Amino acid sequence: MDYQQIQPDRFKEMLELAAYAFDLEPDEEFQKMLHSFALHSAVYGAIDQDHLTSQLLVLQMSIFLHETEIPMGGVSYVSSYPEVRGSGNITELIGRALKGMKEKGQLLSFLSPFSYAFYRKYGYEHVFNQTTYTIANKDLPHFKEVKGTVKRVKGTQVLSQLADLYQKRYQQAVGPVVRREWNWELKLEQHKHQQVALYLDEDNQAQGYLLYHFSKSQKSTFVLDEMVYLTHDAFKGLWQFITSHRSSFAAFSYVANDGEKLADLFENPRIQQKTQPHMMARIVDFPAFIQTYPFLERAQATFYLKVKDDFAEWNNGLWKVELRTTGRKVTKVQEEEKVPAHHWIEGTIQDWTCFLLHSQDIKKMAFHERILADKAVLQDFVERVPNGHPELYDAF
């Protein structure tokens, strides 16, 4: 078996393998999406007798993390033909992919798992959740009239406005993808009859948008694909627009971030809600991530962070982190025995990922011994980590 980066001239084989493994129809729409992914990815494959048998794509992306853009590798279309499943191909490809991400400075990696247990073997952990709201038309919210207006528009004609609203809304968040032009093109084509509505304030300035479509698989269902708003009037105006469809649709469906707590804003909060685990993440290069992480400014201090990573050995060890008002320094401790253990903060790469991306409460993690540390040392470190909640609005 030969493992290598796959070149564009093998796209037909990539398409056939992905379609077979995921039971997808290789129609024009899927070909266009996969081709766009491939153009913006490093593709790793297993070749047997000049035949592509396993593959994975690593999308070249970035995410927002408290106003800092962090390079991220989005792992997608991990696939094998049945005759080689269980042969170790995927383990080899993920190992090569992580090394490639490290070399390219992609400090984080996200993926959508078919099995959470499977990808935990490679250092990934569940970080993101989604809440699906199913709202009967009688339960739609009622708001007083706003002074702004909502216009139905063609997404391609207002792309710069959509991108600007999205960035303003999420640049301080934890996890949303920094969307490039190709991301937006795919987003606006995710459904055959994708609709876009734009909220304009009294000064004709865009303050929010709605992406939506009418479901063909769920008859009489209005699907909210994405809703972004910068002001309360924009929020109310977009919901007024949605509610204006109540006579045409029996149900309204919205998949949102689990932290949005939308039901609290309804007159009847007893709407159907279902929260499910979504995507996984892992830190690819721990010292480089700590060097970049947007810690809050506090008094100068030195911390010793212990990492256990069973799959990316370059992260293993005890890291000395010197936080200074003029910068920081991260170095590997060569003689760990010289640093008293009560100075350490210790966790696996999964635990550090959850802690620094805010998917788990640190007190809960400490209680369950997922993070091991002296209470005072841990508290001092925690006070330097900004608050947040993981959010992700793109799948790949």
Give residue 335's domain range: 285-382
pLDDT computed for residue 245 by the predictor? 96
pLDDT computed for residue 372 by the predictor? 97
Residue 389 forms part of a structural domain? no
Residue 116 forms part of a structural domain? no
CATH at 189? 3.40.630.30
Residue 219 forms part of a structural domain? yes
pLDDT computed for residue 216 by the predictor? 77
> Count of domains in the chain?
3
Do 148 and 273 fall into the same domain? yes
What tens digit of pLDDT does each residue of 185-225 get?
999 988 878 999 999 999 999 999 999 999 877 778 999 99
pLDDT computed for residue 142 by the predictor? 84
- The CA dihedral of 182, 184, 186, 191, to the nearest 10 degrees, is -170
Do 273 and 139 fall into the same domain? yes
Do 98 and 137 fall into the same domain? no
What tens digit of pLDDT does each residue of 234-286 get?
999 999 999 999 999 999 999 999 988 888 878 888 899 999 999 999 999 99
Residue 123 forms part of a structural domain? no
Do 246 and 354 fall into the same domain? no
Question: Of 229, 248, 277, which closes a domain?
Answer: 277
Note whether 236 and 370 are within 8 A (CB).
no
Residue 30 tokens read as: 């899927």
Do 261 and 295 fall into the same domain? no
Residue 395 forms part of a structural domain? no
Do 48 and 162 fall into the same domain? no
Residue 214 forms part of a structural domain? yes
Counting Cα atoms < 13 Å in the Cβ hemisphere of 24 gives: 18
Q: What is the DSSP letter of 369?
A: T
**Which region among 23-27, 88-92, 93-97 has the lowest average model confidence (pLDDT)?**
23-27
How would you classify the pairing of strands 108-111 and 68-80?
A: parallel
Residue 154 tokens read as: 């063609």
pLDDT computed for residue 193 by the predictor? 86
pLDDT computed for residue 191 by the predictor? 82
**Percent of the chain scored above 90 by pLDDT?**
90
Do 101 and 140 fall into the same domain? no
* Integer Cα distance of 210 and 226 in angstroms: 6
What tens digit of pLDDT does each residue of 119-133 get?
999 999 999 999 999
* Integer Cα distance of 57 and 73 in angstroms: 9
Confidence check: pLDDT of 292 > 90: yes
What tens digit of pLDDT does each residue of 310-345 get?
999 999 999 999 999 888 999 999 999 999 999 999
What is the C-alpha R_g of the chain?
Answer: 23
Question: Of 233, 250, 277, which closes a domain?
Answer: 277
User: With bands split at pLDDT 50, 70 and 90, how would you rate the model's confidence at 233?
Assistant: very high
* Integer Cα distance of 167 and 94 in angstroms: 31
- Helix ranges (H only) for 357-392 are 362-367, 375-382
CATH at 311? 3.30.1050.10
Do 261 and 160 fall into the same domain? yes
Q: Work out the average pLDDT over 361-389.
A: 96
The pLDDT mean for the chain works out to 95
End-to-end CA distance of the chain: 27
pLDDT computed for residue 115 by the predictor? 96
Do 299 and 361 fall into the same domain? yes
- The structure's pTM equals 0.95
Q: Work out the average pLDDT over 74-85.
A: 97
Residue-wise DSSP of 201-262:
-TTS-EEEEEEEEE-SSSTTEEEEEEEEESSHHHHHHHHHHHHTTTTT-SEEEEEEETTS-G
**Percent of the chain scored above 70 by pLDDT?**
100
